[in-house]
């Protein structure tokens, strides 16, 4: 009788698994979209929780919400008490800055604004203008912890400002993934503006799959997939120069600013895609590699073997060329099989 009961229960569970359908959530956040797909045996609709989390995150890290902690800090003269989330964003940003030799730097906000990639109009900058702005971008910003455990963010120059745009979307993806896991959901894929992280497999055992965008000729062109890969318990983020730019005298200038020169990058790298366990780290590294360019980034990767899944697309005499690290290439080959 026990064996019969066990078999009936097993068949019943298998039938429930077969009937498990995905829950799909879509919405807007951080000036872009979000798309979440998850499998939940309880069929819960977590849209309110998702929207609440993203709204709360905007109140920390958004440059477009005047009351956000980030905007308040950028307006303050010297120091401000900050939340754990704001402190964590800053610490993670500075850790990637140190790791990449300054190719990633959240203090670059004054230059980003001056080039018209934030809320201000673009200016025609002289070298003297750039030099003055770089003084602000290189001024010390640091975090301290009081005896009561509260975090305080300081700046040496009152005009210094921070910009978390190159890490915030990835960070929000990780927050959403953590939230889904607290609800006991282990099979999902989260996409915020093209920055993606997955967990588990689909009920039929197949992995989640994602595509890397093919660089467009024009920012308004439809999106096309360049390569597709399986994404298993990790994130992928692509940083590119072909959607955000301005044009002057027939030339395009990327929104990616090199902190070392104070100018938009001028190399031929079109995009860098990074796979990492965490979306915030993939986000920041993809930006750093776009600052470095393909050749410098390749040399950097040779000295950092723990970061082994990267895919570059760059211009080679008018044609798109591709280079994948061996580990990334294996994922492409796995998908094609």
Give the number of other Cβ atoms within 10 Å of residue 133's Cβ.
23
- One DSSP character per residue, 204-260 reads TSPPEEEEEEPPPSSTTSPP-EEEEEEE-SSEEEEEESSSSEEEETTEEEES-EETT
Spans in the chain with pLDDT lower than 50: 1-17, 245-246, 249, 251
Query: Cα–Cα distance between 312 and 278 in angstroms, integer?
Result: 19
Candidates 3.30.70.141, 1.10.3980.10, 3.40.50.620, 3.30.70.360; CATH matching 77-155: 1.10.3980.10
Query: Cα–Cα distance between 79 and 73 in angstroms, integer?
Result: 7
| pLDDT of res. 247 | 53
- Helix, strand, coil percentages for the chain (3-state, nearest 5): 40, 30, 35
| pLDDT of res. 7 | 42
Q: Are strands 141-145 and 269-276 parallel, antiparallel or unpaired?
A: unpaired
| pLDDT of res. 243 | 53
Closest CA to 272 of 307, 231, 300, 313: 313
| pLDDT of res. 14 | 46
What is the three-class DSSP state of 36? strand
Query: Cα–Cα distance between 188 and 206 in angstroms, integer?
Result: 12
Tokens of 284: 């920041």
Closest CA to 143 of 153, 134, 133: 153
| pLDDT of res. 187 | 98
Q: Which residues pair with 323 in a beta bridge?
A: 312
| pLDDT of res. 16 | 47
Taking CA atoms, 214 is separated from 67, 238, 291, in Å, by: 37, 11, 19
Q: Which residues pair with 128 in a beta bridge?
A: none
| pLDDT of res. 60 | 98
CATH superfamily assigned to domain 207-337 = ApbE-like domains (3.10.520.10)
Q: pLDDT tens for residues 291-327?
A: 999 999 999 999 999 999 999 999 888 888 999 999 9
- The answer for 193, left when phi > 0, alpha when psi is -120 to 50, beta otherwise, is left
User: pTM for this structure?
Assistant: 0.90
Query: What are the sequence ranges of the domains in the chain?
Result: 21-63+164-206, 77-155, 207-337
């Amino acid at each position: 009788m026990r064996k019969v009961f066990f078999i009936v229960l097993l068949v019943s569970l298998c039938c429930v698994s077969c009937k498990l359908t995905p829950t799909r959530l879509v919405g807007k956040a951080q000036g872009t979209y979000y798309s979440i797909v998850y499998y939940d045996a309880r069929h819960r609709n977590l849209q309110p929780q998702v929207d609440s989390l993203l709204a709360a995150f905007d109140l920390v890290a958004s440059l477009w919400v005047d009351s956000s902690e980030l905007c308040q800090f950028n307006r303050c003269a010297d120091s401000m008490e900050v939340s754990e989330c704001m402190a964590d964003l800053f610490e993670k940003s500075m850790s990637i800055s140190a790791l990449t030799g300054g190719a990633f730097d959240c203090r670059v906000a004054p230059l980003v604004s001056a080039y018209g990639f934030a809320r201000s109009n673009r200016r025609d900058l002289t070298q003297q203008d750039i030099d003055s702005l770089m003084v602000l971008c290189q001024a010390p910003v640091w975090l301290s912890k009081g005896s009561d455990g509260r975090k305080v963010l300081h700046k040496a120059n009152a005009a210094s400002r921070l910009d978390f745009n190159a890490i915030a979307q990835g960070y929000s993806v990780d927050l959403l993934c953590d939230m889904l896991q607290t609800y006991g959901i282990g099979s999902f894929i989260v996409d915020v503006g093209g920055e993606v992280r997955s967990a588990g497999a689909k009920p039929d055992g197949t992995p989640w799959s994602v595509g890397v965008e093919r660089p467009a000729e024009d920012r308004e062109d439809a999106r096309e997939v360049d390569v597709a890969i399986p994404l298993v318990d990790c994130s992928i983020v692509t940083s590119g120069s072909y959607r955000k730019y301005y044009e002057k005298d027939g030339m395009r200038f990327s929104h990616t600013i090199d902190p070392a020169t104070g100018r938009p990058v001028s190399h031929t790298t079109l995009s860098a895609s990074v796979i990492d366990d965490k979306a915030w780290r993939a986000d920041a590294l993809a930006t750093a590699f776009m600052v470095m360019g393909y050749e410098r980034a390749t040399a950097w990767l040779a000295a950092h073997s723990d970061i082994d899944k990267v895919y570059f697309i760059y211009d080679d005499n008018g044609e798109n060329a591709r280079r994948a690290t061996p580990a990334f290439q294996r994922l492409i080959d796995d998908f094609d099989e």
